Amino acid sequence: MQEWNRAVELIEADLTAPVDVGGLARVALTSEYHFRRMFASLAGMPLSEYIRRRKLTAATAEIIAGQGVLDVATRYGYGSAEAFSRAFKAMHGLSPSRARRPGAVLHSQPQLRFHLRIEGSAGMKHQIVKKEAFRLIGLRTRIRLVYEGPNPGIEAFERGLDPSVRPRLAELSDTEPFGLVAVTENIEEPGTEGSELDYWRAAASSQAVPVPEGFDSKEVPAGLWVIFETEGKFPEALQKLWADAAAEWFPANPYLWAPGPQLLSVQPEPDGSRGRGQLWIPIEAKTAPPAA
């Protein structure tokens, strides 16, 4: 985690300056996509949100010290005093002028520190496969991310599907993961609670399978995938797969989280409260860091 902490230190070096995210990723010895994805999973917020909060925390100290709102706004990259005041109120629940009054309760964003946690001593059950190009066929919607518990957007979408959709999709499935899959992709900057993403009810099909009228499709290129397996209470056991992948598996293995859809295949027990699941995540091998 030393490289990640050095990347955070670069943000701290000058909170008034624009942040070169590509430079942070290079310091962390990873790609920008993987850095953003892992940061959000580990920190519980997108990188941009963390930077915004750190800048506002530093700016708040200057406001309390009596510096002018416009001067502070300009120094921290806001286009106007009004834009800064809106962001300030969103974080603190009060205006900069009220923040100067005695007894004002303010919020701050501490500097993040990444630490290695000793967890998962039993290991994570997974396999790595090289999969040929395939096609996703199904129906999709735009929902908001929920880290824990039922997702109302998914539940409403699934309830609204025509009864003929699921058996039709099952007929189209001719490649792994077989059967119906839940697909997530195109998440807003890899995200915190409330971020939007695409959700599919779909089937994985060979490219020879024609797309029926009225269904969406997506071509997925050939590549490497890591497949995690779990068994337990739904949906908690399934949601935990993403957190464990980010916090435990990726830091310990020579792979990056690659752009692309994530596929979830589930086999629920009759009452739906428990079951088994597989999570497919696209990956790419880490490249060796450049020689010093």
Amino acid 292: pLDDT: 41
Q: Comparing 38 with 272, which gets the higher pLDDT?
A: 38
State residue 289's pLDDT score: 47
Residue 135 confidence (pLDDT) above 90: yes
Q: What tens digit of pLDDT does each residue of 116-130 get?
A: 554 443 446 788 889
Residue 116 is predicted with a pLDDT of 56
pLDDT of 290 higher than 60: no
Who wins on pLDDT, 96 or 237? 96
185-219 residue pLDDT tens: 887 655 455 578 899 999 999 988 999 999 999 99
Domain ranges of the chain: 2-99, 126-285
Do 17 and 78 form a contact (C-beta atoms < 8 A)? no
Domain 126-285 has CATH 3.20.80.10: yes
Percent of the chain with pLDDT over 70: 90
User: So what's the pLDDT on residue 120?
Assistant: 44
To the question of domain 2-99 being in CATH 3.30.200.20, the answer is no
Secondary structure of the chain in HEC code, one letter for each residue: CHHHHHHHHHHHHCCCCCCCHHHHHHHCCCCHHHHHHHHHHHHCCCHHHHHHHHHHHHHHHHHHCCCCHHHHHHHCCCCCHHHHHHHHHHHHCCCHHHHCCCCCCCCCCCCCCCCCCCCCCCCCCEEEEEECCEEEEEEEEEEECCCCCCCHHHHHHHHHCCCCHHHHHHHHCCCCCCCEEEEEECCCCCCCCCCEEEEEEEEEECCCCCCCCCCEEEEECCEEEEEEEEEEECCHHHHHHHHHHHHHHHHHCCEEECCCCEEEEEEECCCCCEEEEEEEEEEEECCCCCCC
Mean pLDDT of 35-42: 83
Of 32-46, 104-118, 186-200, which range is least confident?
Answer: 186-200
Mean pLDDT of all residues belonging to the chain: 85
Residue 17 clears pLDDT 60, i.e. is over it: yes
133-137, 224-228, 241-245: least confidently modelled range: 241-245
Model pLDDT for residues 75-88, shown as the tens digit of each residue: 999 999 999 999 99
Q: Give the pLDDT band (50/70/90) at residue 71.
A: very high
- Summarised one tens digit per residue, pLDDT across range 161-186 is 999 999 999 999 999 999 999 999 88
Residue 288 has pLDDT above 70, yes or no: no
